[in-house]
Each structure stands twice: as structure tokens, then as C-alpha cells.
Amino acid sequence: MKEEVFKFLSSKTPKLCVLATASNEAKPQCAVMGYTLTPNLEVILSTDSTSRKWNNLQQNHVVALTFGWSFEEFNIQYEGVAQLVKSGDEYKKCEETYFTSHPESEEFKGIPETVFIKVKPTWIRLSDYSTTPPRIEELFFNSHHSA
């Protein structure tokens, strides 16, 4: 299943998902985001360091993502732990990976406020409602990821 999830998420165009975060006061926030993916199913997102999601992640690193917009394709529910990337070698890797997948966002490359969120999965559910009965499978990952 891991390979199917990778293939599906890698082939999506546009590469969009919904990211949900929550503040320390449990106030939810979600946003449609562009994403890119590593082979071990880590999701890389780019945002602005003044955004609500970035501020939420300063205190609460747990996130949820959703991929897939119709019942004729896979729907992926994804929970994970976010690593905040704002400088250093990891920043350069995220920047190269993200902007290679999203050349339409190149205008944000090199701007001091541009930061990255790298999410390591803890749980993924694949749902395929195009079959009868629907196919629903889950993947569980080591939940002791460091943020």
C-alpha cells in the first residue's frame, strides 16, 4: 500500500492538499496547500513565517492532511508530526525539492519569510470508493517522531 500511496500522491496535478493545524487553545485552522513528497511519504509544504498555520505549529506539531477530491480517485487521510524548517541544510533540501515540484511558486524562493513544513507520517488511510465494496486500508508508522 505504501507504494500505491506514493505513486498516487506523486502523480497528482496539481499537487494540492488540505492542511489542518490547531493552536494551543485547540482553535482549528486549515488551508489548501501545494505539496511535494519524499519517497518515505514525508510531505513538504511551503508557507510564510507570518501565517496562522506556522504560528500554530510553533506550539503544536501535530497535523492532519487530506488528498483527493473525488470519489473516482483515491482519498488519502494523513496524520503526522511537523518539523519546522527555516534555515540550514534541511532548508536548502526542502527548497530545492519543493520548487522543483512547484515552479509556479518560484517568486517565493529566497524571500526571508518563506519557510517549510516537513511532515512525517504517523497514520495514513487510503479510501477507494470507486470499487464495490469500497477499499479502505490503513498504514501505521512509528509515532515517536521528533519534531
- Name beta bridge partners: 34: 16
Question: Does CATH place domain 2-140 in 3.40.50.300?
Answer: no
Mean pLDDT, each 10-residue run in order, the chain (147 residues): 96 96 94 96 97 96 95 96 98 96 94 97 97 97 59
**Structural domain boundaries in the chain:** 2-140
Can you tell me which residue has the cell 500522491? 9
Predicted pLDDT at 143: 61
- Residue-level pLDDT at 68: 94
In angstroms, the Cα distances linking 50 to 56, 96, 113, 116, 117 are 11, 22, 7, 12, 13
Look at the pTM and tell me if it is higher than 0.75: yes
pLDDT given at position 147: 40
CB of 80 closer than 8 Å to CB of 63: yes
> Which of 105, 142, 80, 84 lies closest to 15, judged by CA?
105
